[in-house]
Structure 1
Amino acid sequence: MVSINVLGEDYHDYISDAIPYFILFMGIELVVSIYKKKVGNIFSVSDSISSLSTGMSTLVLERLMPKGILSSIEFIGALYVYKNYRLLDTPEDSSLVWFISLILIDFCYYWFHRMAHEVNFLWSTHVTHHSSEKYNFTTALRQNIFQIYTSWIFFVPLGLIMPPKIYMFHKQFNTIAQFWIHTQAIDKMPYIVELIFNTPSHHRVHHGRNPKYLDKNYAGILIIWDRIFGTFEPEIEKPFYGLVHPLDSHDPTYSQVHNWFDMYEKSKKYKSISDKLKVFFYGPGWDKGLSRMGDSSMAPQPNEKEQKQRDPIPHSNIINVYIFTHYMVVSLTGIIMVSHFEEQVGSLNISLFFAFIYLSLTSFGAIFDRKRYAFHLELFRNILFIVATSPFTSATIQYFKVFYSLSLIFLIGKIFYPVLIKKLN
């Protein structure tokens, strides 16, 4: 059982339990999209691997940070308040308390999510999630590694009344419950469901870059908050996904930090301190002469032709299969190692492997972006694995060495064969 240690106590990690189901439903969604002959509109290998890579980046940073800091930061505030300043001793076995907690967690999530779109420096910790040009279950895992360092403050007041076990469950449940709304495979649902709950239709609007869809439908589980606070928009026209200004990169580091650089560059345009500060504390669409949130009607209206221009030139099938296979190998190995074999493998070795995972994600992104150094970096990555595991003699490691050796041969041919042909001609 995987647990989260918060203030010296262990709590169940429900999100880790959900990972196999995330993988299962991603597979089902892919099959459904193939059956409906819409796979090209819903998926691309580069976009999906990029989404999965940003999700894996969170696990990597959690592993490489001082133990417990990252995994517990989003829970510490509320639990500390409950242990030291609570107003009520709330029973943990009360059904009413559990129901009220679900409502309160979702209410706080709405305001965190809304502020993450309306305050530019908070948007910098959330923009990654919206950078996907496709919309499918993998998009749900495209998360920014810094978001939990800002989101936790919105949930601290709950510690005044909400007991730790209930808080830990519902905080994670709220995250897990939002996975299913990241899909195009589910059409609009019955009216009563669409009236109360956040659904795939409502959340497609939220991810749309259509001008009328910008900054709408912030709900987590319940859409009632958007209806109450005036941020609701129904799905009428076809949503086009991604950022108003496309990211144009699959690099896992750049996708996490690019808006910080954008804010800095934008702030240099202004002379007054107040205008410079507005770049960081007003909405990402703000400019001088506009309201705090900017003017969404100024955003370009997307269309099919423009979307095709945004889509990257696809790689060959053999490159896509190569990257997908290597991604699955490093990511699943890392998850299995940290979940079940830490004592046998050793904490240091697992941390080193997670650093290798991040190098792998960076290399995959470079290949997708067609960086001139991409295949040389990938060549180095394969050699590094073979050299680093040379002291180990277990049968499992030997299988991995064979896999990486075959990959090395493929890469050598990929890099040097075209050069040889060019010289011969």
Structure 2
Amino acid sequence: MKIPTDPVTLATPFFILTVIGEIVLARYGKLKAHYETKDTATSLTMGLFSTLSGLPFAGVSFAGAMWLYHHRLFTIPMTAAWAWVLVFFAEDLTYYLFHRLSHERRIWWAAHVNHHSSQHYNLSTALRQTWTGGLAGAWALWLPLSFLGFPPSMVLIEKGVSLVYQYWIHTEAIRRLPKWFEAVFNTPSHHRVHHARNPRYLDRNYAGILIIWDRMFGTFQLELDEEAPRYGLVHNLGAFNPLRVAFHEWVGIGADLIRSPRHALGWIFGPPGWSPDGARDTSASLKAAWAARQVQAPSPDKREAA
């Protein structure tokens, strides 16, 4: 029998055991974690069907990668240690770009939003994955790696390594890690910021494994002790139906297109919340309103004088 080489497949028993472990330890007060039965069931259901729904597009993306690899610019050997170092950085940067696009453009947000729909932050949240990522076509961002000369199987393994790494950072049980680690790598603290709906924290920390990309490209935000993250969406769904979680933003796009087709490009490729009249909330408008409130708020000295 062939042993599976997909890191996510190999790690699946670990995912299940650690979710159970976090639930048990939290119940006995040994660590901080908040679980809600319906919410956890939704996350697990989303994870299961994400795997199934991704299979057809996995074949398409791999075929495209193989075609590009056949026409590659260079030949990068899987047996060379330097090649694995190189693909680690190349894939991680690609993930940063993918993740940023998934928050800044509505069509890709529609496929990604379900991952942010839980109002809890625990290990099961990591398993709340997309059913429509293949349909949105974000997998095409990884194709240039094969054109450069990385074997498609090498890219797939590295993508799996990144996904397995990102599992453990979905927890409130770990507060801060050593400063050198927090400076270089994505951590639970950094990723809590990413999942927060506080205006200060919106659209920050897109990292996969390395937080250096956020620091380089101006999207880094430190988790602040004085402002605890509030999880979920700007406008929470308030529902646990996996179908609604998976498709609600696609339905919203369709409704907008029917109502005002002449604004199709904005509805599809604008930022989430975009509308022709600017009446809806976007991350930018929420951040601007929050910043304005900080300027208008009286200082502690003035409040004492009053």
> For the superposition of Structure 1 and Structure 2, which TM-score range results when normalised by the shorter chain?
0.7 to 0.9
Question: Offset at 1:118?
Answer: 0.7
Identity %: 39
Q: Does the alignment pair 1:206 with 2:199? A: no
Task: Give the structure 1 partner of residue 49 of structure 2.
Answer: 57
CA contact (8 A) 1:124 1:257 kept: yes
CA distance in 2, matches of 1:175, 1:197: 14
C-alpha distance in structure 2 between counterparts of 1:283 and 1:182, whole Å:
25
Query: 2:157 aligns to what?
Result: 169
Q: State the match for 2:130 in structure 1.
A: 144
- Letter paired with 2:80: S
Distance 1:73 1:202 in 2: 33
- Which residue among 9, 24, 33 is the counterpart of 2:26? 33
- Aligned twin of 1:397: none
Q: Which letter maps to 1:32? A: L
Letter in 2 for 1:97: A
Query: In the alignment, is residue 88 of structure 1 matched against residue 74 of structure 2?
Result: yes
Q: Which residue of 2 aligns with 1:154?
A: 141
Distance 1:146 1:2 in 2: 29
The CA deviation string for residues 268-310 of structure 1, in whole angstroms up to 9 with x for no partner, is 564x72x332021111132335598641237899xxxxxxxxx
Letter in 2 for 1:262: G
Whole-angstrom CA distance in 1 between matches of 2:128 and 2:40: 9
Do the aligned partners of 1:285 and 1:296 also contact (CA within 8 Å) in 2? Answer: no
The 1-side partners of 2:94 and 2:268 are apart by 22
* Alpha-carbon distance in 2 for matches of 1:192, 1:269: 51
In the aligned structure 2, how far is the partner of 1:259 from the partner of 1:2? 40
Is the 8 Å Cα contact of residues 286 and 294 (structure 1) preserved in structure 2? Answer: no
| Structure possessing the higher relative contact order (Cα contacts under 8 Å, 6 or more residues apart) | 2
On the 8 A contact 1:198/1:220 being kept in 2, the answer is: yes
- Contact conserved, 2:199 with 2:283, CA < 8 A, in 1? no
Mapped contact 2:53–2:132 kept (Cα < 8 A): no
Paired position in structure 1 for 2:267: 279
2:212 equivalent among 204, 224, 236: 224
Out of 221, 227, 233, which is 1:243 matched to?
233
Flag the 1:122–1:111 CA change in 2: closer, same or farther, 3 A. Answer: same
Residue of structure 2 aligned with 1:132, choices 111, 118, 124: 118
TM-score by length of 1: 0.62
Q: Which has the larger radius of gyration?
A: 1
- The aligned amino acid for 1:246 is N
The residue type equivalent to 1:230 in the other structure is G
Per-residue Cα deviation, 1:324-358 (whole angstroms, up to 9, x for no partner): xxxxxxxxxxxxxxxxxxxxxxxxxxxxxxxxxxx
Once the two structures are TM-superposed, the CA of residue 109 in structure 1 deviates from its matched residue by 0.5
Structure 2: distance between partners of 1:54 and 1:240 = 22
Residues 1:129 and 1:292: Cα distance change in structure 2 (over 3 Å):
closer
> Structure 1: how far apart are the matches of 2:146 and 2:98?
16
Q: Which residue of 1 aligns with 2:172?
A: 184
**CA apart distance, 1:89:** 1.5
Cα RMSD (Å) = 2.5
Partner of 1:261: 251
SS at match of 2:111: coil
- What SS does the aligned partner of 2:15 have? helix
In structure 2, the residue matched to 1:107 is: 93
After TM superposition, give the deviation of residue 163 of structure 1 in Å: 1.8
Which residue in 2 is equivalent to 1:75?
A: 62
How far off its partner does 1:180 sit? 0.7
TM-aligned CA distance change 1:18 to 1:38, over 3 Å: closer
**For the residues of structure 1 that align with 2:103 and 2:14, how far apart are their CA atoms?**
29
Counterparts of 2:212 and 2:88, CA distance in 1: 14
CA distance in structure 2 between the aligned counterparts of 1:74 and 1:140, rounded to whole angstroms: 23
Structure 1 range deviating more: 53-62 or 101-110: 53-62
Task: Provide structure 1 residue ranges, at least 5 long, that are not aligned to the other structure.
Answer: 4-10, 63-67, 302-425
Do 1:32 and 1:185's aligned partners in 2 also have CA atoms closer than 8 Å? no
Could you list the runs of 5+ residues in structure 2 that have no partner in the other structure?
Answer: 292-306
